[in-house]
Chains A and B, each alone.
Chain A
Amino acid sequence: MTAASTTSAPALAAPPTGGTLETLARRAESLVIPLGALLVGLGLFSLFLLALGKSPAQFIELMWRGGFGSWFSIQNTLLRAAPLLLAALCVVLPARLGLVVIGGEGAIVLGGVAAAAAGHWVAGLPPVAVIVAMALAAMAIGGLWIGAIGALRHYRAVNETISSLLMAYIAIALMNHLVEGPLRDPASLNKPSTIPLTAAGRLGAVPGTDVHWGIVVGVVACLACWLLIEKTRWGFAARVAGGNVRAAQIQGLAVGPLIIGFCALAGALAGLAGMIEVAAVHGNANASLAAGYGYTGILVAFLARQSPLGVIPVSLLLGGIAAAGGLVQRRMGLPDATILVLQGMLFILVLLSDTLYGRFKIFNPDRWGRAP
């Protein structure tokens, strides 16, 4: 299996033995190691800034101010975190089965196009029905797109990493074709787009804020996925299959429907992300849909160690870093790519820290009593 051992490391912990302290120690490992990796990454990035003659302290202070320091910056952070939540879940769900799906971008762009088309066709219905129709259309196409990748994986053993990447390129070409051809609004001249949604098809802001409903949908989706994985028998079956496919099959688990179902659900969530981009941000579908959220979602999922609950703080962290980018750029004279460099460093160190699991005695109560 591709990377099953690393991506689903926390998925199938041994049944806890002993008291609260022992459970706490086991849980702490998957919290302390990534946090340590993030700190080391921040340290390395500080060295990078020092080498360029910039002040790391000022950088961190501006990051805080631009991402989390005021109500305005918090709203900015939430706006940027919203698409990342759903995009990351598109990586997390297949990862629990040991699959590395990196083509969520394809489901996002097609979901956006499907939502824009559906919103135009049913524009006469009441607003709630329009939104529901758009969401269903987006989730259906996204679910089909990534579900097909799961089916290819199960029935034909086609590697899901490569096929999802290829399908993402195909999806973007398909989107460009639809937006510039059959679905094009003749009035959109410079930037080919679909016909703008009517007011009924637009998602507004959460009352009292400037933040659209996408953030709420994303957080609810994370909680629901956590419940699915941790508290249902399908989630349990997925964790077993992610640990060892053959063992799961011997146990009589239907691995095929599990893989296809999880992939389809992952794709449906990514499609929903595309729908929210269209309904809350752009107002129509155009090439801006391929903004790379699908790829940042991969980063979020790995930083969160493929935990649906972990996705929430990591999305907020990365959303905050992105929100502070402009401030850092203006005040310190650093290029906007500084954020990418920081993200890359953090990503590399968190992956490198995978090698540390199981190496520290303090996290393993079974080894506490023994002589060193």
Chain B
Amino acid sequence: MTMSDIGLWSVPLAMLGGAIRVSTPFIFVSLGEAITERSGRINLGLEGTLVFGAMAAYAVAVETGSAWTGVVAAMLAGAGFGLLHAWICSFPKVNDIAVGIALMLFGIGLAFFFGKPYIQPAAPRLPAIPFGAWSDLPQIQAALSINVLFLAGIALAVALWWCFKNTRAGLIVRVVGDSAEAARAMGLNPTTVRLIATAVGGAFAAVGGAYLSLYYPGSWNERLSSGQGLMAVALVIFARWNPLGCLAAALLFGAAGALGPALQSAGVTQGYYLFYAAPYVLTLAIMIATSSPGRALAGAPGELSITR
């Protein structure tokens, strides 16, 4: 038995590493969706924002030679998509769910359109911190090589959780999300608050995209996203609109997503596709268990169109 031959232990290790790698975009996109939904609006278009963010980050990183400039560019682009969504939805009688689907299509289209010349060139990658350097096992080193954005995502989730509870800005977003009329009575403008919340949400989602193109898998192509932006909506429900819950849900979805490839690399060739469905089955089960006619989901913002 050689050092690197650790048999079936490679499955949990690969899952841990996979969970950390795969979950980072989930953390950012679900936190972005959580902020937007807390303000009473649902943005189903984050998939488009994420894909465009991935393209923008990669293109700018190629052009400037700096991965971090790419991340900033993605955030600006994401905020732009968020503003567009919130502006369109601010008109009366416009359906926010459908606008999200339209913006998803538009964002993906623009990303593929402008991203065509950037499929070939290589961009600088985002740095990772080798927390596994103490070990001789390459599996452990691989699993514990952690990207800075993962740590930033954890910090962001904690910060948001604290802000929603303890700050004036957090309170304003929650009031607008629970009752636009109460917010108006307090002298707040729900449209402005939602504009800001959706723009910030878009910027976060775009960071998730930047992670995809600049770190893992670390290239730009048209099959880069596997629906992380769409799954954000399910994640946020799963997390009960709580930023810390988003973090946990992102890790869980990441681990479940890593289970298939991990089993495959360990020699299991049958049935692992069903594990891909595990997070969705779980989310659906939780929705069925906790919904009931006559009342909204616990923890749901009162103004949210999907829970009424």
Contacts and interface: CB of A to CB of B under 8 A. Distances in A.
A155 B288 CA distance: 10
Contact of B293 (A155, A298, A338): A155
B7 interface: no
B293 A345 contact: no
Interface in A314-363: 334-345, 347-348, 351-352, 354-355, 357
A306 to B, nearest CB: 11
Interface string A176-216: 11001100000000000000000000000000000000000
Contact of B93 (A100, A156, A347, A357): A357
Interface residues on A, range: 35 or more
A344 B273 contact: no
Given A2-B97, A335-B113, A344 B292 contact: no
A178 to B, nearest CB: 9
A328 to B, nearest CB: 12
B70 to A, nearest CB: 20
A302 interface: yes
B98 A167 contact: no
B271 A177 contact: yes
A298 B95 CA distance: 13
Interface in B161-194: none
A369 B116 CA distance: 57
B108 A2 contact: no
A162 interface: yes
Contacts, number: 155
B238 to A, nearest CB: 10
A181 B271 CA distance: 7
Given A162-B237, A162-B287, A351-B95, A341 B113 contact: yes
Interface stretch (A3-11, A77-85, A112-120, A266-274): A3-11
Contact of B277 (A2, A102, A169, A295): A169
Interface residues of B, number: 48
B280 interface: yes
Contacts of A5: 93
Given A340-B109, A341-B109, A2 B101 contact: no
Interface stretch (B140-148, B199-207, B226-234): B226-234
A163 B288 CA distance: 9
Nearest to A355: B91
B234 A7 contact: no
Given A173-B273, A174-B274, A354-B94, A337 B102 contact: no
Contacts of B234: 162, 165-166
A340 B271 CA distance: 35
A344 to B, nearest CB: 3
A170 B277 contact: yes
Contacts of A352: 88, 91, 94
Given A2-B97, A299-B105, A344-B106, A174 B112 contact: no
A330 B182 CA distance: 56
Contact of B106 (A102, A336, A341): A341
A165 B116 CA distance: 29
Contact of A348 (B99, B271, B280, B306): B99
A119 to B, nearest CB: 22
Interface in B272-308: 273-274, 276-277, 280-281, 283-284, 287-288, 291-294, 305-308
Interface string A29-72: 00000000000000000000000000000000000000000000
A161 B97 contact: yes
B103 interface: yes
Given A162-B306, A165-B234, A170-B277, A348 B103 contact: yes
B92 interface: yes
A2 B113 contact: no
A128 interface: no
B120 interface: no
A344 B306 contact: no
A152 B102 contact: no
Ordered nearest first, which 10 A-B pairs have the shortest CB separation?
A: A344-B106, A340-B109, A337-B112, A173-B277, A347-B102, A341-B109, A355-B91, A177-B273, A344-B105, A176-B273
Interface of B: 88, 91-95, 97-99, 101-103, 105-113, 116, 227, 230-231, 233-234, 237, 270-271, 273-274, 276-277, 280-281, 283-284, 287-288, 291-294, 305-308
Given A166-B284, A181-B270, A337-B109, 10 more contacts: A3-B98, A7-B98, A161-B306, A169-B231, A170-B284, A298-B98, A299-B105, A337-B112, A340-B106, A348-B103
13 contacts: A3-B95, A5-B93, A100-B98, A157-B293, A165-B230, A165-B233, A167-B280, A169-B231, A173-B276, A299-B105, A335-B113, A336-B112, A348-B102
